[in-house]
Amino acid sequence: MSMRASFIAPLRGLLRAERGIAMMEFAIGLPVLLGLTLGALELSNYIIASNTVQRLATASADMLSQTGVNNISTTEAQIYDMFYALDVAAKPLDMRSRGRIILTVIKGVAQGNGTVQNQFADAVYSQQFDGGYVGANILLGCRTSVTLPVYNRTLPANELMVHAQVSYQYASLLGSANVLSYFNVPPVITRTAVFRMRKNMFNITNDNSHPVKSKCTSATGT
């Protein structure tokens, strides 16, 4: 064997060894890189969904709080239209089957002992529901079964406030809710918004063709 051949042979062996190491590093690193990429996509999608849910809560509270502006009352048909508009605005989120919108109107009611107590604004229209995710936790309780729980602020006497809750059962891009446990985020996104009634009036007129959406265990609220 010539001196040149004896010098090149070890180099070739070293090159083959380095290629083998590179292949092993690639095989080990690829799943990690893929996991980080998919995780970033999943978390980004979750954040977008969370922001959408917050916008829905804010929009619904804002719209309902305008009841009574220019002394114009709201009809139950308009409540239906509002829920439909929110379904459209939520796309691509499927609020019809995976979401729940809960609108509650609260009133500060003076008590005989001089204190003020938060109560549901009336016995018919003060709470309305829509959306197929009936398992959503109702933060202010269901008017037909419980009294209003303690709220974080007591309203002045006769003041009206709209509390909007939107809950959405997140659908994972990877097809498994277990993925969310790695990010320590809840599988159900719930956001709220609170608006004071613009004219401090709450008046929804009856509409026989549009039953009140007051049933907390029904997907349609009726």
Domain ranges of the chain: 10-205
Q: Closest Cα partner for 216 from 165, 170, 171, 169? A: 165
Q: What is the pLDDT of residues 105-153, one digit of tens each?
A: 999 989 888 888 888 888 889 999 999 999 999 999 898 877 787 767 7
Q: What is the pTM of this model?
A: 0.82
The low-confidence residues of the chain, meaning pLDDT below 70, are 1-27, 30, 151, 176-177
CA 96, CA 93: separation in Å to the nearest integer? Answer: 9
The pLDDT assigned to 196 comes to: 92
DSSP three-state, residue 177: helix
φ/ψ (deg, to 5) at 106: -110, 145
The pair of structure tokens assigned to 211 is 């039953």
Q: What is the pLDDT of residue 8?
A: 58
Q: How many Cα atoms are found within 13 Å in the side-chain-facing hemisphere of 92? A: 5
Given this model, what pLDDT does residue 23 score? Answer: 65
Residue 48's pLDDT is what? 96
**Are 95 and 86 within 8 A, CB to CB?**
yes
**pLDDT value, residue 122:** 87
How many Å apart are CA 133 and CA 218, to the nearest integer?
A: 9
User: What's the count of helices (H) and strands (E) in the chain, helices before strands?
Assistant: 3, 7
Q: Are 103 and 125 in contact (CB under 8 A)?
A: no
User: Residue 198 has what pLDDT?
Assistant: 86
pLDDT given at position 39: 81
Chain mean position to CA 205: 29
Written as one letter, the residue type at 198 is: R
What pLDDT is stored for residue 9 in this prediction?
Answer: 59
Residue 128: per-residue pLDDT? 96
State the pLDDT at residue 13: 59
